[in-house]
Amino acid sequence: MKNKIAIIAKGTINNINFHKNLLKDVDIIICADGGVNNAKKIGVTPDFIIGDLDSADSSILDFYKNTKTKVIKDTNQDKTDLELALSLAESLDPHEILILGAIGDRIDHTLANILCLNKIKPGIKAQIIDDKNTVELVDKKIDIVGNKDDIVSVIPLTDVSGLSYTGLKWLVSNKHTKFGWFGISNRITQNNATISLSEGKLLVIHVKE
């Protein structure tokens, strides 16, 4: 069976209903340590909680220990809580991973969380998502569905070849560029767009207007 897995991290979650709706069709929910605080805020029961448990509210942790939730204490300090949650998720044979609560007011944590997308096994669709932003790592092609004038930014993580856009205000075709070039604040012209490349990796950030 193909699994759609959601990982809840401990970053900012403002729109409760948005996140609750995202979780309605997932098969497994994993909380990365303090992400369990967000799970309680959203009103969902996770299947797993993993981490060294230093940022999980003790009363919330005790609450979930009395449910079906499996608590895995892992004190490996060489990995972030999100990395531990991703390793667990990958062991459960997912076809898709949604990462919630990965964007917050700590820029170091947010950046590390985004770069974790580069550590996920090829073939697994993975997104960091909140009510405003969707971040995805792309190495071939992505179809973006949104609204006219939504923002799309492209940030290469490597040198890139064959970069092409459709459905965006400022187009490129078969572009070759070095790491360090940015395609920031482009705009969807109708309701969808595509970004493709032949070699390399890049982050695509879709910002809802």
35 half-sphere exposure, CB direction, 13 A CA radius: 32
Q: Is the pLDDT of residue 1 over 80?
A: no
Provide the 10 A C-beta neighbour count for residue 112: 14
Share of the chain above pLDDT 70, in %: 99
Across residues 164-186, what is the average pLDDT?
96
Using CA atoms, how far residue 192 sits from 13, 36, 142, 186, 195, in Å, is: 26, 34, 11, 13, 10
Reported as a pLDDT band with limits 50, 70 and 90, residue 94 is very high
pTM, two decimal places: 0.94
Position 209 scores a pLDDT of: 81
| The pair of three-digit structure tokens given for residue 41, joined into one six-digit string | 């805020």
In sequence order, which ranges of the chain are alpha helices (DSSP H)? 16-22, 35-42, 58-65, 81-91, 107-115
Q: What would the mean pLDDT of 108-125 be, rounded to a whole number?
A: 95
> Considering the chain, what is the average pLDDT of its residues?
95
pLDDT score recorded for residue 76 = 83
Give the pLDDT confidence score for residue 77 in this predicted structure: 84
CATH architecture of 138-207: Sandwich (2.60)
Asked if domains 3-131 and 138-207 share a fold, the reply is no
So what's the architecture of 3-131 in CATH?
3-Layer(aba) Sandwich (3.40)
- How do residues 37-75 score in pLDDT, each as one tens digit? 999 999 999 999 999 999 999 999 999 999 999 999 998
List, in order, residues 6 or more apart from 141 with CB less than 8 Å away.
194, 195, 196, 197
* Rounded-to-integer distance, Cα 48 and Cα 85, Å: 9
The per-residue pLDDT for range 136-166, each reduced to its tens digit, is 999 999 999 999 999 999 999 999 999 999 9
Q: What is the pLDDT of residues 10-20, one digit of tens each?
A: 999 999 999 99
Domain ranges (residues) in the chain: 3-131, 138-207
pLDDT of residue 177: 95
Written as one letter, the residue type at 132 is: K
